[in-house]
Amino acid sequence: MTTTDLLALEERYGAHNYHPLDVVIERAKGVWVWNVEGRRFLDCLAAYSAVNQGHCHPRIFAALVEQARRVTLTSRAFRNDQLPQLLERLHTLTGYDMALPMNSGAEAVETAIKAARKWGYTVKGIAPNRARIVVCAGNFHGRTVSIVSFSTEAQYRDGFGPFTPGFDVVPFGDAAALEAAITDETCAFLVEPIQGEAGIVVPPDGYLAQAAAICRERRVLLVVDEVQSGLGRAGALFAHQHDGVRPDAVIVGKALAGGFYPVSAVLAHREVLGVFAPGDHGSTFGGNPLACAVARAALDVIVDEGLPDRSAALGAYLIDRLRSLSSPYVREVRGRGLWVGVELDRPARPFCEALMDLGVLCKETRERVIRIAPPLVITTDEIDWALERFAKVLR
């Protein structure tokens, strides 16, 4: 089928909850994808950072196939041989005592919210049903009803109320506002170390460190959402490591399975995840053996191929080159690692469409920002290839 045929089918039979670029991808390898007509494009989105390891990485693929031959799903009614091995790997890699595996990023955020609330009641001693969580304006943590309850994007909420109570919104990057918002009923501060969907917004230096100190002093959990920023994207295994902080809980997803499978998790110390008793929380698919085998291979690739360091070095190069483009449309180039936002003075969509015509796939975020987030296995030559096209479009 051609692109035109497939677009017509999708328009007719699919819900219109996305506005994708009209490129119909049929296969992919590393940083490259091909459409149904066989045209090649450089992927500068990496499935919103889920394919940090590059598309169809052979090591992760091998783990998937090998595990799919043996057993794929047991549910947590029984145990499987892969889950303990993933849990141990996460512990040795991150130092957290425990992990709770889920599937999507939003589910892991919901899990962290439940853990924080239960910690608030059972450990901190907050009165029943009074626990509050401080979040940031401009946040993006997913699309469930509870999560959009504290979104500050009108479109994410319009038409979806009534909402879940118990959240207080403060400006991102403002530690004093966080401190002022905390009460005796606050159980957690939930924050992205860099706001991705808001347009790769990097907070002022020292913000997370100040937030961590405030949380410690006021006995509030620091819960960091690393679903998009983590696992190498921001030039470190976790973006919060740039600030030298140790959150009480870390939420991971996306690249945890290198794009082969939805796998997410909450990582935390025993004091936090230990609040869950059997029956408190669960998921039919969370922790299934296929997911765990894939996630272990995906983590191995991140570590063995040094992807966080690669992201730091190549990201600095990319940002530097983009800043020197001298475009009349560009207001700011910002980012960390291979995670770059190019803020324009006008809507970014036509620029993304022009880039697609030249063979580079990017997606606008929050209307005026072009997000550039290629798989972390990209080479300098490939970045230069993309930069030639950015130069053409942005000048």
The torsion angles phi and psi of 222, rounded to 5 degrees, stand at -95, 110
Pick between residue 339 and residue 390 the one whose CB is nearest to ligand PLP.
339
**Burial class, 34, CB count within 10 angstroms (exposed 0-12 / middle 13-18 / buried 19+):** middle
Angle, CA 268 vertex, CA 265 and CA 271 arms, to 5°: 135
What is the H or E stretch that residue 297 is in? Answer: helix 289-304
Count the residues of the shown chain that bind ligand PLP, applying the rule CB under 6 A.
15
232 binds ligand PLP (CB under 6 A): no
Query: Catalytic: 309?
Result: no
Count, residues in the chain:
395
Query: For residue 258, which of 102, 51, 59, 89 has the smallest C-alpha distance?
Result: 51
The single residue of 168, 174, 225, 248 carrying the catalytic annotation is 225
Candidate list 174, 192, 243, 305; residue touching ligand PLP; CB under 6 A: 192
The footprint of ligand PLP on residues 137-176 (CB under 6 A) is 140-142
227 binds ligand PLP (CB under 6 A): yes
Angle, CA 334 vertex, CA 330 and CA 340 arms, to 5°: 95
State how beta strands 330-335 and 340-344 pair.
antiparallel
Pick between residue 113 and residue 394 the one whose CB is nearest to ligand PLP.
113
248 binds ligand PLP (CB under 6 A): no
d(CA 313, CA 96): 27
Quick one: tokens of 137? Answer: 């304006």
339 binds ligand PLP (CB under 6 A): no
Binding mask 197-216 for ligand PLP (x = CB under 6 A): x-------------------
Pick between residue 7 and residue 137 the one whose CB is nearest to ligand PLP.
137
Contact stretch for ligand PLP (CB under 6 A) within 28-36, 60-68, 114-122, 136-144? 136-144
- b/e map 239-274, b = 16+ CB within 10 Å: bbbbbebebbbbbbbbbbbbbbbbbbbbbbeeebbb
Least distance from ligand PLP to the Cβ atom of residue 387, Å: 25
Least distance from ligand PLP to the Cβ atom of residue 217, Å: 26
State how beta strands 25-29 and 98-102 pair.
unpaired
Pick between residue 196 and residue 330 the one whose CB is nearest to ligand PLP.
196
243 binds ligand PLP (CB under 6 A): no
The footprint of ligand PLP on residues 97-116 (CB under 6 A) is 104-106, 109
Least distance from ligand PLP to the Cβ atom of residue 394, Å: 25
Q: Using alpha carbons only, how large is the chain's radius of gyration in Å?
A: 21
Candidate list 253, 315, 341, 374; residue touching ligand PLP; CB under 6 A: 253
d(CA 33, CA 378): 13
364 binds ligand PLP (CB under 6 A): no
The footprint of ligand PLP on residues 43-62 (CB under 6 A) is 48
Pick between residue 82 and residue 365 the one whose CB is nearest to ligand PLP.
365
The single residue of 41, 140, 172, 285 carrying the catalytic annotation is 140
Least distance from ligand PLP to the Cβ atom of residue 304, Å: 25
Pick between residue 352 and residue 394 the one whose CB is nearest to ligand PLP.
352
Query: Catalytic: 300?
Result: no
Question: Which residue(s) pair with 72 in the sheet?
Answer: none
Quick one: tokens of 17? Answer: 């909850």
Pick between residue 30 and residue 196 the one whose CB is nearest to ligand PLP.
196
Angle, CA 294 vertex, CA 44 and CA 139 arms, to 5°: 50
Query: Catalytic: 254?
Result: yes
Query: For residue 119, which of 248, 265, 279 has the smallest C-alpha distance?
Result: 248
327 binds ligand PLP (CB under 6 A): no
The single residue of 254, 260, 351, 363 carrying the catalytic annotation is 254
Pick between residue 18 and residue 78 the one whose CB is nearest to ligand PLP.
18
Query: For residue 276, which of 253, 255, 249, 297 has the smallest C-alpha distance?
Result: 249
The residues annotated as belonging to the active site are 140, 225, 254
The contact set with ligand PLP (CB under 6 A) reads 48, 104-106, 109, 140-142, 192, 196-197, 225, 227-228, 253
